[in-house]
């Protein structure tokens, strides 16, 4: 069982969670997510759970960010992820944090928490393909325009494994 702590950016990308994994978000992250459909499906399946850090870890995260000069760049939601990570680490949980926020990632790497950003998306976006909305041809992720008709390609899921158990 792999454990992830997720930033809200994960829900904007098409990234899926790997099988046999569970992910935690804080209530503040939950509030940040705009389109909640994906998130709600993941929560209903039990793959995403809400977990909030203890207040003393929030304070510790704040101190840490103040020390590195990152405090001004971090929102309260960002801090909640850092705090939750500090708490999980102290409890000996093996996990990694998925975030595209460089301040969050720098801060966490500094205290020895594993983080993933684009790498995570590249790995779990494998089931997303590009297609031409005009002529229907399918392309790999590297193409931007249809080779035949020149239309800008769109992205869609090949399989929506997200909604299967």
* Contact between 134 and Zn ion per CB under 5 A: yes
Give me the phi and psi of 113, to 5 degrees please: -95, 130
Cβ contacts of 50-56, under 8 Å, gap ≥ 24: 50/24, 50/25, 50/26, 51/24, 51/25, 51/26, 51/84, 52/26, 52/27, 52/80, 52/84, 53/26, 53/80, 53/83, 53/84, 53/86, 53/87, 54/83, 54/87
* Contact between 126 and Zn ion per CB under 5 A: no
The contact mask relative to Zn ion for 78-117 (x = CB under 5 A, - = no) is ----------------------------------------
Distance CA 1, CA 119 (A): 19
Considering only the stretches 9-17, 62-70, 85-93, 127-135, report the one whose residues sit in contact with Zn ion under the rule CB under 5 A: 127-135
* Contact between 129 and Zn ion per CB under 5 A: no
* Contact between 132 and Zn ion per CB under 5 A: yes
* Contact between 146 and Zn ion per CB under 5 A: yes
Considering only the stretches 2-10, 29-37, 90-98, 126-134, report the one whose residues sit in contact with Zn ion under the rule CB under 5 A: 126-134
Q: Nearer to Zn ion by C-beta: 60 or 130?
A: 130
The count of chain residues that interact with Zn ion, using the rule CB under 5 A, is 7
Q: Nearer to Zn ion by C-beta: 122 or 148?
A: 148
Q: Determine the distance from the C-alpha atom of residue 13 to the mean position of all C-alpha atoms in its chain, rounded to a whole number.
A: 8
Distance CA 50, CA 57 (A): 16
Positions that interact with Zn ion (CB under 5 A): 132, 134-135, 146, 148-149, 151
């Amino acid at each position: 069982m792999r454990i992830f702590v997720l930033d809200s950016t994960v829900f904007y990308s098409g990234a899926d969670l790997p099988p046999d994994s569970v992910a935690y978000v804080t209530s503040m992250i939950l509030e940040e997510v705009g389109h909640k459909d994906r998130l709600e499906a993941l929560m209903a399946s039990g793959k995403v759970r809400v977990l909030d850090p203890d207040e003393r870890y929030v304070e510790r995260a704040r101190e840490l960010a103040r020390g590195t000069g990152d405090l001004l760049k971090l929102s309260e939601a960002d801090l909640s992820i850092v705090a939750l990570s500090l708490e999980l680490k102290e409890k000996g949980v093996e996990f990694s944090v998925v975030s595209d926020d460089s301040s969050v990632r720098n801060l966490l790497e500094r205290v020895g928490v594993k983080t993933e950003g684009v790498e995570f998306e590249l790995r779990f976006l494998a089931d997303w393909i590009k297609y031409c909305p005009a002529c229907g041809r399918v392309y790999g992720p590297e193409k931007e325009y249809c080779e035949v008709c020149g239309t800008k390609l769109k992205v869609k899921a090949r399989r929506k494994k997200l909604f299967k158990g």
